[in-house]
Chain A
Amino acid sequence: MNSETLRAVVDCLIPPDDFPGAYDAGVCDYIEQLFRTDLADHAEFFCAGIDAIDAEALASYNAPFAVLTPDQQVATLAAIEAGAVKTSWHIAPSRFFEMLVNVTAEGYYSDPQGGNRDCLSWVMTGFEAAS
């Protein structure tokens, strides 16, 4: 699994704006830890999905996912979410995508262990008061 791809994917799912995006919040650290522990049995499945995202990007735009424009990245992920893939997948695209979106949100919004650095999403949402 290419870590540049994962970084670009999570930042497309939760992009930076006034508040950091998923990567700067530590979501990749959270995900790597999760697939070493609770989801170790699914690590291969997950890596295959990330690799398949790059394959989709190459098929559509002749470039890896991380260097696509933001609009191209969104279009690529939206197609995978809808199951409209161009390459041959060894895993179910929609099932992978659901897992991807869930673990990204967990890393961003859950406890500040790996993800949610400095409780930034809790301040962003108002769950915790800004200190």
Chain B
Amino acid sequence: MKTYDAIIVGSGAAGGIVACVLAEAGKHVLLLERGPVLSFADVGRDQLRNQRLAIYGHNAGPELIGNPRVFVDPQGRSRLVKPHELDYHNNAACVGGGTRVYGAQAWRFHPNDFRMASKYGVPDGSSLADWPISYETLEPFYERAEWELGVAGDGGVTQSEIPRKRNYPLPPVLPSPHTLALQHGARQLDWGTTPVPLLINTEAYRGRSSCIGCKYCVGFACPTDAKTGTQNTVIPRALATGNCELKTSAVAEAIDTDDRGYVIGISYFVSSSGAPQRETARSRLVIVSAGAIESARLLLNSRSSFHPAGLGNEYDQVGRNLQGHLYPRAYGLSSTKVFNGIGPGVTIATIQFNHDNPGIIGGGMLADDFIKPPIDFWYDSLPPDLPRWGVENKRFMRDNYTRVMHVRGPVQDIPNPEGRVSIDRTVRDKWGIPVARLSGTTHPATVEAAEFMRERGEQWLRASGCEKVWSTQPGLILSGRQHQAGTCRMGNDPATSVTDEWGRVHSHDNLFVVDGSLHVTNGGFNPVLTIMALAFRSAEYIARLS
């Protein structure tokens, strides 16, 4: 049997980068992806079956049948959920992972995001902790991600809060009419604003063309391939070396260990022609990059007499601290049309409230939103006092779709160890693998911060000239979804963390986790650029081994 230098499970934001760095360093790599390569046509434009609005289905996998999870609600009632249901906390299952269909906001975390416990103390019931590394340690890798993949933005305006050595390689997206209104409002309030950094080519970059301003970024694939994911950057680079073998529709079952408990490879299923077939691959290193839910599931499902609770789980830490973001959303009715039909739609943000808010732990970024198709707007954005049907509802859609301004943002999640991934041994997927069981909630302090941010959103819209303003406030729920993180946190103490600062599982020399699972906290920002930066850092370290 062929022995690889490394097997990487998952080809998303992190796995694609690890594959590229290792392959370019001459390592022989097997990259396993449970989903397929999805073309633009495969992803499609179905407005009711996509990653953003998944009422009847989902366009980036996994398939609705045969891939259940178990969700336990805050009252303790458990039920089976399918991938397109909100409580499944799906991201995507395809080459590129979530980066195939995401909106592509490319934020660095704030320096204080790496030292939350030192800055705020640890609230009761929370597992809030500092990262084992600082912003300064990660800064060169943020820069590398921004330049090797391609981020558009203006780093100058956030230099005092989030210092950087080098600006973005691409200029920011152009303002829309609503941008100017929000800029004006922020000036009235004396708030700073910044263009939203995006992994979208505002100009041709590294062989791919520029954005044409279509209205279908988040939830869909890009018609000109101007939206940047790992599937159109680092994975092609990895394959071009000849050192990386990409195996799609390959579902990892377990990390294999030998009779001394030492990690030796992976068992996985493929179904090239109908019937599922179990295959094994052997390697000197295994790197788990399957996302915060599936990475934890794989470790927990890899049991032996040496590791009865799963790999890396000696202290019952694997799967805990599942976090994502609560998203307060505010809407304002402008007296003039603010919609020009040019995507992406997200243009302007404030990072004024990410920290140092009185009585609040953390905070978050607020930004405008990607263009919402009318059905998404109808479900998400109408004022609560508007009738849901009849002539008044239709008139609002007709008159105000182009006049509503949107402000929303991710609130820093205060981790709760009871918000977690475990294994339901009674439910199996179509391969026979026990499925993930999701339970618990975020910490109440997250809800307090979300309420504070909701008020800031309304305040911003009022100052921007909106007479009618409304908003939605998330309650105490489990967060995760596309920003899922935290389930294999890094740290120096094996009793309270799963890996060291490089993503190496404490109890195993040759087993790594590299993805959002490592995040000790998840910042008040979209997390993908941090996942990418950490992947570059860990991959460089792994490439130097052996």
Is B341's CB within 8 Å of the partner chain A?
Answer: yes
Contact stretch, chosen from A53-61, A84-92, A105-113: A105-113
Question: Is B341 a contact of A128 with CB atoms below 8 Å?
Answer: yes
Interface string of A91-131 (1 = CB under 8 A from B): 00000000001101110011100000000011011111100
Question: Is B398 a contact of A109 with CB atoms below 8 Å?
Answer: no
Question: Is B390 a contact of A12 with CB atoms below 8 Å?
Answer: yes
Provide the bound-state CA to CA distance between A125 and B55, in Å: 22
Which residues of A are in contact with B by a Cβ distance under 8 Å? 12-15, 17-19, 34, 38-39, 74, 77, 81, 101-102, 104-106, 109-111, 121-122, 124-129
Interface of B is mostly: loop
A-B contact pairs, 24 of them (CB 8 A): A13-B390, A14-B394, A19-B394, A34-B56, A39-B56, A105-B389, A106-B48, A106-B55, A106-B375, A109-B374, A109-B378, A109-B397, A110-B47, A110-B374, A111-B46, A111-B48, A122-B374, A125-B377, A125-B397, A125-B398, A125-B402, A126-B402, A127-B373, A129-B341
Question: Is B48 a contact of A127 with CB atoms below 8 Å?
Answer: no
Of B341, B374, B389, the residue contacting A104 (CB under 8 A) is: B389
Is B388's CB within 8 Å of the partner chain A?
Answer: yes
Residue of A nearest to B398 (CB): A124
Interface of A is mostly: helix
Question: Is A126 a contact of B388 with CB atoms below 8 Å?
Answer: no
Is B545's CB within 8 Å of the partner chain A?
Answer: no
Question: Is A105 a contact of B57 with CB atoms below 8 Å?
Answer: no
Question: Is B57 a contact of A127 with CB atoms below 8 Å?
Answer: no
Is B206's CB within 8 Å of the partner chain A?
Answer: no
Chain B positions within 8 Å of A102 at CB level: 379
Chain A positions within 8 Å of B374 at CB level: 109-110, 121-122, 125, 127
Provide the bound-state CA to CA distance between A12 and B398, in Å: 17
Known contacts A15-B391, A125-B397, A125-B402; decide if A110 and B375 are in contact (CB<8 Å).
yes
Chain B positions within 8 Å of A110 at CB level: 47-48, 373-375
Is B120's CB within 8 Å of the partner chain A?
Answer: no
Chain A positions within 8 Å of B47 at CB level: 110-111
Is B337's CB within 8 Å of the partner chain A?
Answer: yes
| Closest chain B CB from A94 CB (angstroms) | 12
Provide the bound-state CA to CA distance between A18 and B401, in Å: 16
Question: Is B45 a contact of A111 with CB atoms below 8 Å?
Answer: yes
Interface string of B49-65 (1 = CB under 8 A from A): 00000011100000000
| Closest chain A CB from B377 CB (angstroms) | 8
Interfacial residues of chain B within 28-55, with CB under 8 A of chain A in the complex: 45-48, 55
Chain B positions within 8 Å of A38 at CB level: 56-57
Provide the bound-state CA to CA distance between A98 and B428, in Å: 33
Chain B positions within 8 Å of A111 at CB level: 45-48
Residue among B55, B341, B394, B397 having the largest count of chain A Cβ atoms under 10 Å: B394
Provide the bound-state CA to CA distance between A121 and B215, in Å: 16
Chain A positions within 8 Å of B147 at CB level: none
| Closest chain B CB from A100 CB (angstroms) | 9
Provide the bound-state CA to CA distance between A31 and B36, in Å: 31
Question: Is B389 a contact of A14 with CB atoms below 8 Å?
Answer: yes
Provide the bound-state CA to CA distance between A126 and B394, in Å: 13
Interface string of B523-534 (1 = CB under 8 A from A): 000000000000
Interfacial residues of chain B within 190-223, with CB under 8 A of chain A in the complex: 215
Is B353's CB within 8 Å of the partner chain A?
Answer: no
Chain A positions within 8 Å of B45 at CB level: 111
Question: Is A101 a contact of B391 with CB atoms below 8 Å?
Answer: no
